[in-house]
Structure 1
Amino acid sequence: MLASTLMLIALLCAGVFIPVPYAEMTPGPTVNTLGEHDGEPVLQVTGRKTYPADGHLNMTTVRVTRADYKMNLVEAVYGWLAHDNKVVPHDTLYPNGKTEEESSQETAEEFSQSQESAKVAALRALDIPVQSWVVVSTVVKGSPAQGRLHAGDVIKAVDGTAVKQPADVAKLVTRHRPGQDVVFTIVPAKEQAAAEKANRAAAKTEKVTITTEASDDAGEKRAVVGISAGTDHTFPFTIDIKLADVGGPSAGLMFALGIYDKLTPGNLTGGAFVAGTGTIDDEGKVGPIGGIEMKIVGASGKGARYFLTPADNCAAAARDTPKGLTLVKVGSIGDALDALADIRAGKTAGLPRCAAR
């Protein structure tokens, strides 16, 4: 008995003091995009008529342990057994040794981009024109493009071929062999900013010649210049999203619906408590997110009765749906608007629901 007791104590000590390579996800706060957060409206529209919007269109979040947090075996086992926690490999949240600072920067950039796409998707769903341009998003330090191209430069053409989508840039550059020249036709960022401020089209363009270099990919090398391309927009009025201490792209759908609701008379939810999640692109397509199990638990705990769920997350979400919560399958902002119309009308029997596989 003494030997068994000592062995048990040794095992418990090992479980407490020996770190394991895991991290933990738990339900985070939910925020009503139609309401206030820290004393100010989450969505603020200036320069366009808005309408009172009641009800709930809540975006949802997930809390994760810090990159430098050392989980022990006891905590890992408890997390595996607990209903409201999820234990995942540490590299799932922080791949390639990513630091807390690097992860926070990345999620902040994703959050900012999701806000822009939410605005575009909402306005396009309302047939309100939005002007868009392909721009230089980032320039890699030490690359051929450094000092030649700058973040915010508008890319009009590559080698004389007009650019319409960010993907066009890489496609045109990789037609070259490493070491060959590629010619960018751009509107410098400062000229573009001045034109937008003066509410006029940018007139000044420049041609910039850059010598490509070989990519560092494994296998066949591509020609690259060291930039990433993105999209910038000019909106016909101002939309501000005020929400601090949140990162990642998963609030895009709920921001878009909140904006749509404020710009249209009546209430999208009909007074129902609706929560949801999902990335959104400029065309209104809804994409999958991480931590869906934690998000539906958090939403249910706050009183949500309907949860707008990305189609690709449906199977995982439906494995353990909280009692009283209906998971509504959506693949676009149009799907979400149709579902909300049925919820308003009380026609919930025909809602597209998530099903476990």
Structure 2
Amino acid sequence: MTLFDDDAASRGARRRIDEGRRAPRRLVVGSVALLVALVSLFTMSFLPSDFVLERPGPVYNTLGEVESGEGELVSLIAVDGAETFDTTGSLSLTTVEVVGNREHPISWIELALAWMDPARAIVPIDAVFPEGLTSEQRDEQNAVMMTDSQSQASAAALRALDYDVPADMRVVSLTDGSPSQGVVEEGDRILAADGTRLADVDELRAVIDAAAGDPVELRLERDGERRTVEVTPERLTVDGSDSWAVGVSISTSYELPIDVTIQLDNVGGPSAGTMFALGIIDALTPGEMTGGEHIAGTGTITIDGDVGRIGGIRQKMHGAREAGNSYFLAPTGNCDEVVGHVPDGLQVVSVATLDDAISAVEAIAEGEAASLPACTPGG
């Protein structure tokens, strides 16, 4: 015979009933918590972020035509005063489009959607729009850099073709407490330093650095008259670094022997310099420099032909490939960012100088692209 403890049985039954009642209650509480979390996450996804997106922008063939501000098709590069030659293929500059700014920040959901896209980059907003700098001011700065880039590219291209291209360096301002005050004036054209004829500002800096604090003799042109003055450099902080300086800001233009006009609206920054230079050289060189191939690229340029690193290299590679280019010229200084991120179907060639870029284009035209230097870690 089996005996039952009535009290124990009753307590067990009541416990099972209570647990049965609490289970739906826990389910409700958990469901409400999950719903609140999802609603919060959904709401937060539309809140503004402190980032912007960089994505591939338009690609422009420097050998082709673009639409002017008046809506007319014009040559991107036009040359007057020298014979030009027809060509085929393309030498395209690449751009990066920035989505978002301080006035119109992007949302977290937009960042989430871009996270897995290799053609897009998420960048802190301060890196693109520093505090206190409006979108309009940034556009103005980029427009100035584009103008300087076009000037440098034209001068570098013509020097590569053995034209004489003298520099016109003018003093635009003097810093407070400048050692040049009372000696140098705004508007002065600097011709030489310590007997060395100057090609650009870098050569002037080199002469000043070599003087190491000793007086530097400057040959100037003022109101059509030439004169020689002496300035003693001082250790000054220039662009965040401490160096010998004479305390003047200089604007450099170049006296081109032929007229070169580059027309490209709504694009700013200095990174198209190398492709501009190649386009000018192709226009002034007999034959088809590209061999009909489609080549894109990027990189700043100096009058001496040095190709400099730029921003947004990965987006520019994707933009180049999407536009149908098979080859891409990348600054050697950007190679660390290139390795492991090259889109399928695109061959990237590392270039450090304009001569490198010219040689690369010629090799591609001759079917010898496989011999060209690729980017490796560290350049």
Tell me if both proteins adopt one fold, taking TM over 0.5 as the criterion. yes
Residue 88, structure 1, aligned to residue 123, structure 2: yes
Q: Which residue of 2 aligns with 1:99?
A: 134
Write the letter of the residue equivalent to 2:84: T
Q: Which residue of 1 aligns with 2:62?
A: 33
Cα offsets for 1:133-174 (capped at 9, x unmatched): 4x23531576657896225x311356x665635246557778
Uncovered stretches (5+) of structure 1, i.e. residues with no partner: 192-203
- Report the Cα offset of residue 235 of structure 1: 1.3
Residue 51, structure 1, aligned to residue 102, structure 2: no
Residue 74, structure 1, aligned to residue 143, structure 2: no
Cα distance in structure 2, aligned partners of 1:241 and 1:229? 23
Cα distance in structure 2, aligned partners of 1:218 and 1:126? 33
Cα distance in structure 1, aligned partners of 2:77 and 2:102? 31
Q: How does 1:301-312 map to 2 (within 5 A)?
A: 301-312=322-333
C-alpha contact 1:136 1:149 (8 A) present in aligned 2: no
Q: Which residue of 1 aligns with 2:259?
A: 238
Cα offsets for 1:234-260 (capped at 9, x unmatched): 111111111111111110110111000
Write the letter of the residue equivalent to 2:45: G
C-alpha contact 1:130 1:233 (8 A) present in aligned 2: yes
Deviates more, 1:19-28 or 1:141-150: 141-150
Question: What is the TM-score of this pair, normalised by structure 1?
Answer: 0.83
What number of residue pairs does the alignment pair up?
Answer: 338
Deviates more, 1:38-47 or 1:115-124: 115-124
Residues 271 and 212 (structure 1), Cα distance of their counterparts in 2 relative to 1, 3 Å cut:
closer
**Residue 170 of structure 2: which of 136, 151, 154 is its match?**
136
Residue 12, structure 1, aligned to residue 39, structure 2: no
**Residue 296 of structure 1: which of 314, 317, 324 is its match?**
317
Cα distance in structure 2, aligned partners of 1:332 and 1:220? 26
Residues 211 and 96 (structure 1), Cα distance of their counterparts in 2 relative to 1, 3 Å cut:
farther
- Report the Cα offset of residue 81 of structure 1: 2.3
Deviates more, 1:263-272 or 1:109-118: 109-118
Residue 149, structure 1, aligned to residue 185, structure 2: yes
Residues 317 and 20 (structure 1), Cα distance of their counterparts in 2 relative to 1, 3 Å cut:
same
Q: Which residue of 1 aligns with 2:21?
A: none
Q: How does 1:189-208 map to 2 (within 5 A)?
A: 191=224, 204-206=225-227
Residues 327 and 173 (structure 1), Cα distance of their counterparts in 2 relative to 1, 3 Å cut:
closer
Write the letter of the residue equivalent to 2:56: P
Percent of paired sites with the same residue: 35
- CA RMSD after TM alignment: 3.1
Q: How does 1:230-269 map to 2 (within 5 A)?
A: 230-269=251-290
Residue 113, structure 1, aligned to residue 143, structure 2: no
C-alpha contact 2:175 2:248 (8 A) present in aligned 1: no
Cα distance in structure 2, aligned partners of 1:154 and 1:217? 21
Write the letter of the residue equivalent to 1:308: L
Cα distance in structure 1, aligned partners of 2:243 and 2:369? 52
Cα distance in structure 2, aligned partners of 1:267 and 1:334? 17
Residues 125 and 213 (structure 1), Cα distance of their counterparts in 2 relative to 1, 3 Å cut:
closer
- Report the Cα offset of residue 268 of structure 1: 1.1
Q: Which residue of 2 aligns with 1:187?
A: 221
Cα distance in structure 2, aligned partners of 1:10 and 1:75? 16
- Report the Cα offset of residue 66 of structure 1: 3.1
Q: Which residue of 1 aligns with 2:8?
A: none
Question: What is the TM-score of this pair, normalised by structure 2?
Answer: 0.78
Write the letter of the residue equivalent to 2:124: P
Cα distance in structure 2, aligned partners of 1:316 and 1:216? 31
Secondary structure of 2:46's aligned partner: helix
Residues 292 and 233 (structure 1), Cα distance of their counterparts in 2 relative to 1, 3 Å cut:
same
- Report the Cα offset of residue 109 of structure 1: 1.8
Residues 48 and 20 (structure 1), Cα distance of their counterparts in 2 relative to 1, 3 Å cut:
same
- Report the Cα offset of residue 281 of structure 1: 0.8
Cα distance in structure 2, aligned partners of 1:222 and 1:103? 28
Uncovered stretches (5+) of structure 2, i.e. residues with no partner: 1-30, 68-72
Cα distance in structure 2, aligned partners of 1:172 and 1:285? 20
